[in-house]
Amino acid sequence: MDLLEAMRQRHSVRSYTDRSFEGAVREKLQQFVDQCNADSGLHMQLVPEEPKAFDGFMAHYGKFSGVKNYIAMVGPKGADLEERCGYYGEKIVLYAQQLGLNTCWVGLTYSKIKGAFQVGAAEKLCCVIAIGYGSTQGSSHKSKAIEAVSKTDGAMPEWFRNGVEAALLAPTAMNQQKFDFALTGDQVSAKAGMGFYSKVDLGIVKYHFEAGAGKTGLFGI
């Protein structure tokens, strides 16, 4: 499964089976997380077999069940933490999809469990990503039109359209899709609208855009 296929097949999954992911799959995921930490300076941590974070009122209210594993999105405090978490977290989400796993970004509906992961004095927990083998594969979200989230100063090139299409497949908090891509000359820019977790969303959609457009490093993250 290539990245584009992973983006098409990925949907948020909130209900998980008992099947644990051990052995080769877990090792590959751990190695990928380690590599992303090395590339980004983040301190993302895979927290396996820890059911308490999704066992409280908030998680049930959020319709989560069977979540035993998650990724704690931790990194150095700073203005770019949320966007960086979005970009690298989504890179991990799509890799997990390629490994046959399911995921859901979670900003609110979980409990912070002391000792389950580390947050250094100069670090902050941004959010978590539930991960495991889903009871379902989820379903497609409603999406804004390409024109509603992008503009170009001339005809829209194919690669830019592909990038925006990929961004519209991305998860965003409450499916808000509050982002804008612009093409001025050959310069692509992207900005977040006002909204809950919209900076995390921006990092997520930037990763999707680069993958869809087939151009890496566009945003220098």
CB of residue 152 to ligand FMN, shortest distance in Å: 25
Strands (E), the chain: 45-47, 69-76, 102-106, 123-132, 150-152, 179-184, 187-192
Identify which of residues 16 and 183 has a Cβ nearer to ligand FMN in the complex.
Answer: 16
Identify which of residues 33 and 204 has a Cβ nearer to ligand FMN in the complex.
Answer: 204
CB of residue 191 to ligand FMN, shortest distance in Å: 16
Minimal CB distance to ligand FMN: which residue? 171
CB of residue 142 to ligand FMN, shortest distance in Å: 9
24 sits in the region (left: phi over 0; alpha: psi -120 to 50; else beta) called alpha
Identify which of residues 86 and 163 has a Cβ nearer to ligand FMN in the complex.
Answer: 86
For binding to ligand FMN (CB under 6 A), which residues are involved? 11-12, 14, 62, 104-109, 127, 138, 141, 171-175, 197, 200-201, 204
Q: Quote the CA–CA distance of 178 and 199 in Å, as a whole number.
A: 10
Q: Quote the CA–CA distance of 99 and 82 in Å, as a whole number.
A: 25
CB of residue 168 to ligand FMN, shortest distance in Å: 10
Identify which of residues 30 and 65 has a Cβ nearer to ligand FMN in the complex.
Answer: 65
Would you give the DSSP letter of residue 134?
B
Give the SS3 label for residue 86. helix
